[in-house]
A and B are shown apart, each in its own frame.
Chain A
Amino acid sequence: DTEVTQTPKHLVMGMTNKKSLKCEQHMGHRAMYWYKQKAKKPPELMFVYSYEKLSINESVPSRFSPECPNSSLLNLHLHALQPEDSALYLCASSQTKGESSGNTIYFGEGSWLTVV
């Protein structure tokens, strides 16, 4: 079983709703990630947090707002989404980048998001 926990597993929201996806890891990792995955496509990097600071934002629309309250938690706040934002949202974590193997990212089970 993965040690990265995501909630909720499924979310249906309207285009005017505000919701959040939550992620928690207890592996002592200091980097956390949000990926988006559409059907039959690879995971697409959205955000990277390193030591609780946002280090990479892959030009994601502002209707997606990440938050890292502490080293174990990562949230993704959703507001005014579009139907094309429907996808599997994957949270992941990794150790520091000091060693090559430390770049290994471990995924949670994902949150299936449907925007109606």
Chain B
Amino acid sequence: QKEVEQNSGPLSVPEGAIASLNCTYSDRGSQSFFWYRQYSGKSPELIMFIYSNGDKEDGRFTAQLNKASQYVSLLIRDSQPSDSATYLCAGVTGGFKTIFGAGTRLFVKA
């Protein structure tokens, strides 16, 4: 079983819609979770981190963590074509080991 799982997509949403990206993890000891955005040919760029149950909002982005269900999500409101990228979910296990999910490709149609 993979430690961090994501639907690879592609997820296609119209401009202005809400994009919902989901991630599950297997290690109950994982405490910190991250969402990165990666454009084609570029390195991953941090969007948000979350380590408490509940929601965390930053601008158009909201991260949600449910430790009981071992579930992390990212909502992107008012999606823009510039949001089209691969979104990587990551969790920290055993201290310094940050493990990435396979990534979800998001396409925002103008």
Contacts and interface: CB of A to CB of B under 8 A. Distances in A.
For the side of the interface on B, what is the size category?
Answer: 20 to 34
Nearest to B51: A100
Interface residues of A, number: 26
A2 B96 contact: no
Contacts, number: 60
Given A42-B101, A104-B34, A97 B96 contact: yes
B100 to A, nearest CB: 4
Interface of A: 2, 31, 33, 41-45, 48, 50, 55-56, 88, 90, 94, 97, 100-101, 103-110
B96 A103 contact: yes
Contacts of B44: 43, 90, 107
B28 interface: no
Contacts of B31: 100, 103
B7 to A, nearest CB: 13
5 smallest CB-CB distances across A and B, nearest first, come from A42-B100, A100-B51, A107-B43, A103-B92, A110-B43
Nearest to B36: A107
A4 B103 CA distance: 23
Contacts of B60: none
Interface in B10-40: 31-32, 34, 36
Contacts of A48: 96-97
Given A45-B97, A104-B34, 5 more contacts: A42-B88, A97-B95, A101-B32, A107-B44, A109-B43
